[in-house]
Amino acid sequence: MSRKISIVEVGPRDGLQNDPVLLPTEVKLEFIDRLIAAGVKRMEAASFVNPKLVPAMADSIEIMARVPRDKGVSYIGLALNERGMRAAIEAQCDEINFVMVASEGFGKANQNATPLDTADLLDRIAILAHDAGIPLSATISVAFGDPFDGEVDPAILGELAKRAAAAGAVEIALGDTIGVATPWQVTKAVDIVREAAPELTVRLHFHNTRNTAIANVYAAVEAGVSVIDASAGGIGGCPFAPRATGNVATEDVVYMLERAGFDTGIDLDAMIATARWLETEALKHPIASALAKAGGFPG
């Protein structure tokens, strides 16, 4: 069990985008610094979306201009369209994550696009990232269930993964945007994507809305997945998905994996301290993290 599991920290983007507290830029930068000190090497730091719709991300350009570039950290910028892709390139993101969608209801609410629309758009704009020499990944949102349409046909995941690979993406993330997945669905979804696009690295992104996220992480790792998204403190949610609560907590994931003998490269004590800082000093409201309350073991 000495296999390396890479954690993509999404707290500065997905964690903050739907929080009722709008953090000042300086506090966000402190959050990023704390995550780096805890050992984070990849993180979602910015989202290039309409600031009127997602005001928490309005300072993304400034964030990217001020993040430390000498710590060996890869900063990911989120893009939903050509304007976002160009902004992420201009901001010198180290990676760009384009969002595809698995179901029409959420796609219309979030991006005003159907699943095939998002695939077609990626075909058209991926060249921008390639010409800039920036690695491109794709996240399939609502991969396990749509808040408007209900169940999602898992076959669409293979189709979208194949389209992402053809467009030059190097990684595909399956996003449980509203926290409805079960471990058995996760195993099936990973199999479908691997068969459709074996050249892509597979990454999983879970929300803990229905308390299945940590079990889903286990299922993903057992299926051979080595890249997992998580958010310090379990903060997060989606502005366009009703009742979509926080992400799986980074420290909870690290605890489970490290206790099993996997290597995450994350300092658990430092991550717990960061989660507690979020709760008591930055956001000043309760967070979902179990480890922030219980601490590690042995103590």
Known catalytic residues?
Answer: 238
3-state SS of the chain: helix, strand, coil percent to 5? 45, 20, 40
Contact predicate 141/110, CB 8 Å: yes
**Angle formed by the axes of helices 250-259 and 268-277, nearest 10°:** 160
Give 24's contacts (C-beta < 8 A, 6+ positions apart): none
Alpha-carbon distance of 89 to 39, in angstroms, equals 25
Structure tokens of 151?
A: 């169940």
**Angle formed by the axes of helices 268-277 and 25-37, nearest 10°:** 160
Find the helix or strand (DSSP H, E) in which 139 lies. strand 136-141
